[in-house]
Amino acid sequence: MDSVLSYFLCFAFIGARVTAENEKICFPNKFLFGVATAAYQIEGAWNVSGKGESIWDRYTHSHPERVFDHHNGDTAADSYHLFKRDVDMMEQLGVQFYRFSVSWPRILPNGLSNEINEDGIKYYTLLLDELKAHNIMPLVTMYHWDLPQSLQDLGGWTNPIIADYFVDYARVLFEAFGDKVDTWLTFNEPFSFCFDGYGGYDAPGAHGSGFEDYLCGHNVLRAHGKVYRMYQQEFAETQKGHVGITLDFAWQEPATTSDEDQHAAEVVRQFFLGWFAHPIFSETGDYPPIMRKRIDYISKRQNFPRSRLPTFTSDEIRMIRGSADFLGLNHYTTYLVKRNRNKIAPQPSFMTDMGGILSQKPEWPKSNSTWLKVVPWGFRKALNWVKAAYNNPITIITENGISLEPGLQDSRRVNYIDGYLRALHNAIIKDKCNVVGYTYWSLLDNFEWMRGFSERFGLYEVNYDSTNKTRTARISAGYYSKVAQTKCLPVSWV
Ligand SMILES: *[C@@H]1O[C@H](CO)[C@@H](O)[C@H](O)[C@H]1NC(C)=O
Ligand SMILES: *[C@@H]1O[C@H](CO)[C@@H](O)[C@H](O)[C@H]1NC(C)=O
Ligand SMILES: *[C@@H]1O[C@H](CO)[C@@H](O)[C@H](O)[C@H]1NC(C)=O
């Protein structure tokens, strides 16, 4: 019974409590609540116990000026040493599962599986045992952006060979942890790390928009499909686990009721979510037809001899189609979309290919992240779009959360979670969206990539100045513990 997904599959809709108006809002009895983190954002210990260098180590060390306050994840929340404290916090919260990621270079210092770092295996084994001792199920992400630098030296996700190296890495994980982990996510947010990392200025900072981002996405999809098939062939029979992928999907609402803005918003959804979801979750597989058509056309207009969006072989399309037991969905916010009427520029650009102009309403409540506005109704729309587009896949919300300024009195975080959970409840109960679990991002404050430690998403505040990286529960931790333990939204929670 250690499988998050088996648990979901067996019981998700048994005991859904009826909610009339003014009645308590309750999720199905077996709906699961969890919290999430990622290795580079919390572990620290970047150069100890045999760990290799990741692209985020390299990037934050060689370009400190690009990161808020020149910070880096060298120590972060020091969860490499303080994981028992983290698990204590989860027990306090009463969550049913913990989503964390494994650091590839901590397991394979040079990225390749000829050399396995036993200290790395030991660290995650201790964490998994600690979780089990507290009755908390693991939901494990294999790749949350910390690529071994040695593989980036070969081109990273733009080099097709990386799909095979990722399969080798995944096999090491299944062999080492497969008896303790039943629910796996191959990737976290390929859109983000391809678009921002290979198309922009996140690590590795390739800044190759409209080109390197597509190469990255192509190889990530191949790598994901190959790992799914490898698990089916080599492990599924004995381990009986489930493999999925986490995709990020902000809701894209047309800015006006005009046909062209309605159409632009749909195209943007296909470029943002469809890029990765269509090849895996649609009936036909492959890239969304509108994405193929637009990039082929614009590439030609820009004098490229072939499309900047690579092409799958028919074997690859088959291999990738259906290669997930469930969808992990990260959702934070909503954008408005207007059609971009500008002429096609000569240089490649994802944003030009996509053809929409994104904005947010100034009156939407703010967070401490410029991109994150509070729009709960967008969550329900996003879930309904997924239901319609991909035949209502089994879905786990693998991230949802808000950044706020430091402080323990975070009633705005409570309001955010409460609002988004109400939207989720409507999507599940009224719209019959097949969502079986919810994960708050994040358990504790952590290293928020280019934003350093400035944007805090934690239910627990971290004092980075203390030698202990002291963690203190915020008001929202009390609220979320009520939610996780009762499966109902509390009427009063203080
Ligand atoms: C590890 O990195 C820290 C900086 O975070 C540095 O002070 C220390 O010397 C490094 N240790 C080794 C063994 O390289
Ligand atoms: C986030 O909070 C910091 C203070 O901790 C403040 O300086 C910054 O302007 C805030 N950013 C946003 C986008 O609100
Ligand atoms: C570190 O943690 C220990 C035990 O949790 C506590 O007794 C001690 O006061 C802390 N020290 C600092 C400097 O925060």
pLDDT at 491: 84
Q: Does ligand 1 lie within 6 Å of residue 74's CB atom?
A: yes
Please give the distance, rounded to the nearest whole angstrom, from the Cα atom of residue 458 to the centre of ligand 3. Answer: 20
This prediction has a pTM of: 0.95
Share of the chain above pLDDT 90, in %: 94
Nearest CA to ligand 1 atom 9: 47
Taking the CA of 78 as reference, the closest ligand is: 1
Please give the distance, rounded to the nearest whole angstrom, from the Cα atom of residue 415 to the centre of ligand 2. Answer: 19
**456, pLDDT greater than 70:** yes
**Average pLDDT of the chain to the nearest whole number:** 96
Please give the distance, rounded to the nearest whole angstrom, from the Cα atom of residue 450 to the centre of ligand 2. Answer: 14
Taking the CA of 45 as reference, the closest ligand is: 1
Q: Which atom of ligand 1 is nearest to the CA of 47?
A: 1
Q: What is the pLDDT of residues 114-133, one digit of tens each?
A: 999 999 999 999 999 999 99
Catalytically active residues, by annotation: 189, 399
* HEC assignment per residue over the chain: CCCHHHHHHHHCCCCCCCCCCCCCCECCCCCEEEEECCHHHHCCCCCCCCCCCEHHHHHHHHCHHHCHHHCCCCCCCCHHHHHHHHHHHHHHHCCCEEEEECCHHHHCCCCCCCCCCHHHHHHHHHHHHHHHHCCCEEEEEEECCCCEHHHHCCCHHHCCCHHHHHHHHHHHHHHHHCCCCCEEEEEECHHHHHHHHHCCCCCCCCCCCCCHHHHHHHHHHHHHHHHHHHHHHHCHHHHCCEEEEEEECCEEEECCCCHHHHHHHHHHHHHHHHHHHHHHHCCCCCCCHHHHHHHHHHHHHCCCCCCCCCCCCHHHHHHHCCCCCCEEEECCCEEEEEECCCCCCCCCCHHHHHCEEEECCCCCCECCCCCCECCHHHHHHHHHHHHHHCCCCCEEEEECCCCECCCCCCHHHHHHHHHHHHHHHHHHHCCCCCEEEEEEECCECCCCHHHCCCCECCCEEECCCCCCCCEEECHHHHHHHHHHHHCECCCCCC
Tell which one of 81, 468, 470, 472 to mutate to probe ligand 3, the residue whose CB is within 8 A of the most ligand atoms. 468
Please give the distance, rounded to the nearest whole angstrom, from the Cα atom of residue 444 to the centre of ligand 2. Answer: 18
Nearest CA to ligand 3 atom 3: 468
Taking the CA of 73 as reference, the closest ligand is: 1
1-10, 222-231, 365-374: the lowest-pLDDT one: 1-10
Q: Does ligand 3 lie within 6 Å of residue 262's CB atom?
A: no
